[in-house]
Amino acid sequence: MEECCSSKPKHNHDNHEHHHDTEEKSTFQMFFPALISFILLFIGIILDNYITMNWFSDWARIAWYLIAYLPVGIPVLKEAYESILHGDVFSEFFLMGIATVGAFAIGQYPEGVAVMLFYSIGEVFQGMAVTRAKSNIKLLLDQRPDEVTILKEGKPQTVNAKTVSIGEIIQLKSGEKLGLDGELISENASFNTAALTGESKPDTKTQGDVVLAGMINLNKVSQVRVTAAYKDSKLSKILELIQDATAQKAPTELFIRKFAKIYTPIVVFLAIGITFVPYFFISDYQFKDWLYRALVFLVISCPCALVISIPLGYFGGIGAGSRNGILFKGSNFLDILANVQNVVMDKTGTMTEGVFNVQEVDFKPDFDKNEILNLINVLESKSSHPVATAIHNYVGEIDHEVELDNVEEFAGQGLKAVVKGKELLVGNFKLLDRFSIDYDIRPENIVYTVIAIAYDHKFVGYLTIADTIKSDSQLAIKKLHDLQVKTTMLSGDKTSVVEYVAETLGVENAYGDLLPEDKVNKLKEIKAKNQSVAFIGDGVNDAPVIALSDVGIAMGGLGSDATIETADVVIQDDKPSKIPMAINIGKQTKKIVWQNILLAFVIKAVVLILGAGGLATMWEAVFADVGVALLAILNAMRIQRMKFY
Q: How confident is the model over 277-288, as pLDDT tens digits?
A: 998 888 888 888
Residues 185, 196 contacting (CB under 8 angstroms): no
Q: Quick one: pLDDT at residue 565?
A: 66
pLDDT score, position 200 = 52
- The Cα-based distances of 571 to 5, 350, 358, 422, 554 in angstroms read 31, 10, 28, 45, 6
The predicted pLDDT at position 195 comes to: 60
Q: Does residue 460 or residue 202 have the better pLDDT?
A: 460
Enclosing H/E stretch for 599: helix 578-612
Range with the poorest average pLDDT among 67-81, 199-213, 588-602: 199-213
Which CATH class for the 354-468 domain? alpha beta
Tens digits of per-residue pLDDT, 245-278?
A: 555 555 666 666 677 678 778 878 888 898 899 9
Q: What pLDDT, on the 0 to 100 scale, is given for residue 2? A: 36
pLDDT of residue 237: 66
Cα separation of 263 and 489, whole Å? 47
Give the residue numbers annotated as catalytic, written as ranges: 346
Residue 643: helix, strand or coil by DSSP?
A: coil
pLDDT at residue 460 in the model: 93
pLDDT for the residue numbered 240: 66
Sign of CA dihedral 158, 162, 168, 173: positive
d(CA 220, CA 45): 67
Instruction: Supply the pLDDT for residue 3.
Output: 37
Residue 6 confidence class, pLDDT cut points 50, 70, 90: very low
How confident is the model at residue 20, as a pLDDT?
40
C-alpha–C-alpha distance, residues 378 and 386, integer Å? 15
Instruction: Report CA-CA distances (Å) from 56 to 49, 510, 522, 632.
Output: 11, 82, 80, 39
Is the separation of the CB atoms in 534 and 548 below 8 Å?
no
Q: What is the pLDDT of residues 500-516, one digit of tens each?
A: 899 999 999 999 888 77
Q: Is the pLDDT of residue 316 over 70?
A: yes
With a cut of 70, say whether residue 206 has pLDDT above it.
yes
Over the chain, what is the mean pLDDT? 81
pLDDT tens profile 374-384: 999 988 887 76
The share of the chain scoring above pLDDT 90, in percent, equals 25
Alpha helices in 215-250 (DSSP H): 234-245
Counts of helices then strands in the chain (DSSP H, E): 23, 22
**Mean local confidence (pLDDT), 56-73:** 92
- The confidence score (pLDDT) of residue 483 equals 94
How far is Cα 451 from Cα 443, in angstroms, rounded to an integer? 10
Residue 377 in contact with residue 392, Cβ under 8 Å?
yes
- Given this model, what pLDDT does residue 175 score? 82
- Give the residue with greater pLDDT, 181 vs 71: 71
Cβ burial of 510 (10 Å; 0-12, 13-18, 19+) is buried
Alpha helices in 186-344 (DSSP H): 194-197, 234-245, 251-276, 287-301, 304-323, 331-338
Q: How far apart are CA 531 and CA 537, in angstroms?
A: 19
The pLDDT confidence band at residue 436, using thresholds 50, 70 and 90, is very high
Q: Which amino acid is at 505?
A: L
Residue 16 has pLDDT above 50, yes or no: no
Residue 204's pLDDT is 81
Cα–Cα dist 89/123, whole Å:
20
**What confidence tier does 19 reach under pLDDT thresholds 50, 70, 90?**
very low
Task: Evaluate if residue 539 carries a pLDDT over 70.
Answer: no
Q: What is the DSSP letter of 642?
A: -
pLDDT score for 33? 92
What pLDDT, on the 0 to 100 scale, is given for residue 642? 84
